[in-house]
Amino acid sequence: MKKMSNIGVLGAGTWGMALARMLYNSGHKVCVWSALSKEVEEFSATRRHPNLPGMVIPDGITFTGEIAEVCKGRDILLFAVPSPFVRSTARLAAPYVENDQIIVDVAKGIEADTLMTMTQIIAQEMNNPTVKLVALSGPTHAEEVAKDLPTTIVSACEDVETAELVQNVFWGTCMRVYTNADVLGVELCGAVKNVIALACGIATGLGYGDNARAALITRGVAEISRLGMAMGCEPGTFGGLAGMGDLIVTATSQHSRNNRCGILIGQGVPVKEAIAQVGMVVEGINALPATMRLAQKYQVEMPIVEAAYQVVHGEILPGAVVQQLMGRDKKPELPQDALNNRYE
């Protein structure tokens, strides 16, 4: 029989609420914090989330607007706020986080100014070496988890015991969890795949089809893996759930905010208006500046990322950038050193 955990969820967006419901239905005690008092009151009263139609929030899930209440006495703290708010939320929570606390982050992004991943930001704000940090990432749309549809995800932590503990807790009504020690690789994939998905959406909005989407996905993985390898990540991560798996679902699904935003941009909708029409945070837009800086820092060629950046910042029209990508110099698909390694 699974041991019940006491879990505090920071963030009442779609992903935080879908996970809160799944964790509660798996036998855990769950309290959800929101910085917006209106959300606390509305969710407590209606037991519904406006962006998760059909999902009923179990009566046993409690809500609070007090950061101390959601932090104190919890076995696990789940950070489920959008990436731009991870630092400010961690700063608010830090005074109430106890020694040896396990913190699980599900936000996906890289901070533009510092080039830090989300767990790195949390670690810096907590300033407590006993805190254990886990990145939970993979091909996971909240809309499907809210319906208990089969889903897989990766619990990433250098400490195997902590990764396995989180694996056991989140192994729920619809969730199969794998472990991975490559935290940086998992987080890098989670952030940069949103940029590639944005590019796929732009191509779709321009009227291009499955061939173009498949090319962008596979060459996008090549770009992410080149950057990751330069940063010291494990090669296998990029072909796994947090890499290829998450990119496929984000670049192809109707649920993907990045895909939808890209489609609108490809159709000629101004970027700010496209974001407004999506109505939620578009993480691919947020991740673009940091990804470009990382590519420059590590001297890694990332033409799809660069093309998306140029379009989003109005440096080139979407139609023109496709021709730019198609007209790049000829090259082999695999670097020569990769081919040589096959025979060693």
Q: What is the CATH number of the domain that holds 141?
A: 3.40.50.720
Question: Is 90 part of any domain?
Answer: yes
- Beta-carbon contacts of residue 233 (< 8 Å; ≥ 6 apart): 182, 184, 185, 188
Total of domains in the chain: 2
Question: Is 297 part of any domain?
Answer: yes
CA gap 132, 166 in Å, rounded = 11
Instruction: Calculate the CA dihedral of residues 276, 83, 253, 273 and round it to 10 degrees.
Output: 10
Q: Are residues 134 and 236 in the same domain?
A: no
Q: Are residues 27 and 176 in the same domain?
A: yes
Domain span at 214: 190-332
CA gap 15, 35 in Å, rounded = 16
Helix (H) / strand (E) element for 12: namely none
**Entry pTM:** 0.92
Q: Are residues 163 and 18 in the same domain?
A: yes
Cβ burial, residue 141 (10 Å; 0-12/13-18/19+): buried
What local confidence, expressed as pLDDT, does residue 336 receive?
55
What local confidence, expressed as pLDDT, does residue 344 receive?
45
Q: Identify the segments of the chain with pLDDT beneath 70.
A: 1-2, 335-344
Give the CATH number of the domain where residue 263 resides.
1.10.1040.10
Q: Catalytic residue, from 38, 193, 330, 331: name it.
A: 193
Cβ burial, residue 24 (10 Å; 0-12/13-18/19+): buried
Q: Is 193 a catalytic residue?
A: yes
Q: Are residues 35 and 170 in the same domain?
A: yes
- Pair of tokens at residue 122: 């949390």
- Taking only the tens place, the pLDDT of each residue in 121-175 is 999 999 999 999 999 999 999 999 999 999 999 999 999 999 999 999 999 889 9
What local confidence, expressed as pLDDT, does residue 280 receive?
84
CA gap 130, 138 in Å, rounded = 26
What local confidence, expressed as pLDDT, does residue 323 receive?
81
What local confidence, expressed as pLDDT, does residue 342 receive?
47
Question: Is 343 part of any domain?
Answer: no
Angle between helices 160-170 and 14-25 (to 10 degrees): 80
